């Protein structure tokens, strides 16, 4: 758990959104005193701070972007059972801890826990995107992914080369979650929880291990199990869906679920869910029963919070815009 300091809101508190632009020593002191995040910031002597940070944090998942012309040094405020994955887009960063130093750069992402870290030193002209995830969340994801109730957390390397497709996909997911959080409105985003879930599976699948042992696979699912998954999706399209829940209903692991969808349906479960929600939205746009509903009302009902994203996905699937479909509805003629 996060520890005793967790109860002091000046040390840490959940924040749906936070942002700070620090350009003076006074602002730096004030931010450390009331920033509510898990680390203290500092800069080298005689260096004027220039640090910009924005993101969102909760007990289980946090995402943020950092830009700094000055560079900085951070130290954890407390010990916490968390892991931080960091992707560097410019500059570099060095983790100093009991096991030695770990270098993060544009070519090497880093994965670090809070235990044993002395400090983290960021270079000038740093730009990075990061995510912090609770160890218990990854353990639960590993159980769902492998179908093994006794699976713990594998020993993961502190660094990973950014040359593999899996690592690039993980980077894209972290960026997507960060942007979705920034752009989200008051209406719940039904897609975001699935993106967060898939990030855990991507990390466990793509990140190199200290011991190169493959994850255990569960028994392949039958067509009957796939049908159970599809039926459950259809029955819950207007509600929040997670791959772990779908796999549990089907009696298979998340990895088996993903493989079955790719082999027998030709799409990932996420793509299938999005397409089915688009199909429902298409039906509603043509339905006289929804004639008084706006296009945005229909989109949000099926989990599409961002109208530009909804419009692009809709056009790719149906070859026309939602407004074109509404104009062609029988009740508008």
DSSP secondary structure letters along 52-78 = EEEEEE-SSEEEEEEEESS-EEEEESS
290 DSSP 8-state letter:
G
Within a domain: 220: no
Within a domain: 230: no
Q: Which residues contact 148 (CB under 8 A, 6 or more apart)?
A: 142, 216, 218, 253
**301: containing domain:** 273-332
Within a domain: 233: no
- Note the Cα 229 to chain centre separation in Å: 23
| CB atoms inside a 10 Å sphere around CB 8 | 12
- Please state the φ and ψ torsions of residue 228, each to the nearest 5 degrees: -60, -40
57 and 196 belong to one structural domain: yes
115 and 188 belong to one structural domain: yes
The CA distances from residue 231 to 255, 259, 295, 297, in Å, are 19, 17, 27, 25
CATH at 199? 2.60.120.280
The segments of the chain whose pLDDT lies below 70 read 1-11, 45-46, 99, 181-189, 192, 211-223, 332-333
Spatial distance between the Cα atoms of 120 and 93, rounded to a whole number of angstroms: 7
Within a domain: 226: no
179 and 298 belong to one structural domain: no
The pLDDT, as a whole number, for residue 272 is 96
The pLDDT, as a whole number, for residue 316 is 94
Spatial distance between the Cα atoms of 211 and 203, rounded to a whole number of angstroms: 16
CB 108 within 8 A of CB 56: no
What tens digit of pLDDT does each residue of 303-325 get?
A: 999 999 999 999 999 999 999 99
Choose one of 194, 212, 230: the last residue of a domain: 212
Within a domain: 3: yes
194 and 277 belong to one structural domain: no
Within a domain: 97: yes
CATH at 311? 1.10.10.60
Within a domain: 287: yes
302 and 182 belong to one structural domain: no
pTM: 0.74
| 161 bridge partner residues | 108
Within a domain: 259: no
Choose one of 189, 212, 235: the last residue of a domain: 212
Task: Tell me how many domains the chain contains.
Answer: 2
């Amino acid at each position: 758990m996060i520890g005793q300091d967790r109860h002091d809101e000046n040390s840490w508190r959940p924040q749906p959104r936070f942002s700070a632009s620090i350009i003076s020593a006074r602002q730096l002191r004030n931010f450390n005193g009331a920033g509510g995040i898990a680390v203290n910031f500092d800069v080298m002597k005689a260096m004027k701070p220039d640090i910009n940070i924005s993101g969102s944090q909760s007990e289980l998942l946090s995402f943020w972007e950092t830009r700094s012309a000055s560079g900085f040094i951070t130290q954890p405020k407390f010990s916490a059972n968390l892991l931080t994955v960091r992707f560097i887009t410019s500059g570099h960063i060095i983790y100093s801890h009991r096991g030695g130093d770990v270098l993060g750069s544009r070519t090497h992402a880093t994965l670090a826990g809070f235990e044993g870290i002395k400090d983290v030193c960021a270079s000038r002209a740093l730009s990075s995107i990061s995510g912090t995830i609770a160890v218990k969340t990854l353990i639960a994801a590993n159980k769902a992914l492998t179908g093994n109730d006794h699976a713990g957390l594998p020993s993961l390397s502190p660094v990973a080369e950014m040359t593999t497709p899996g690592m690039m996909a993980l980077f894209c997911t972290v960026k997507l979650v960060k942007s979705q959080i920034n752009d989200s409105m008051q209406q719940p985003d039904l897609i975001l929880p699935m993106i967060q879930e898939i990030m855990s599976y991507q990390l466990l699948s793509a990140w190199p291990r200290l011991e190169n042992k493959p994850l255990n696979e569960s028994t392949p699912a039958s067509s009957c199990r796939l049908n159970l998954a599809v039926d459950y999706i259809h029955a819950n399209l207007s509600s929040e869906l997670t791959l772990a829940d779908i796999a549990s209903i089907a009696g298979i692991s998340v990895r088996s679920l993903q493989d079955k969808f790719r082999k027998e349906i030709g799409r990932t479960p996420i793509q299938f869910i999005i397409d089915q929600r688009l199909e429902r939205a298409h039906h509603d746009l043509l339905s006289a029963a929804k004639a008084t509903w706006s296009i945005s009302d229909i989109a949000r009902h099926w989990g599409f919070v961002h109208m530009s994203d909804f419009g692009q996905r809709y056009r790719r699937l149906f070859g026309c815009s939602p407004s074109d479909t509404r104009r062609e509805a029988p009740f508008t003629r």
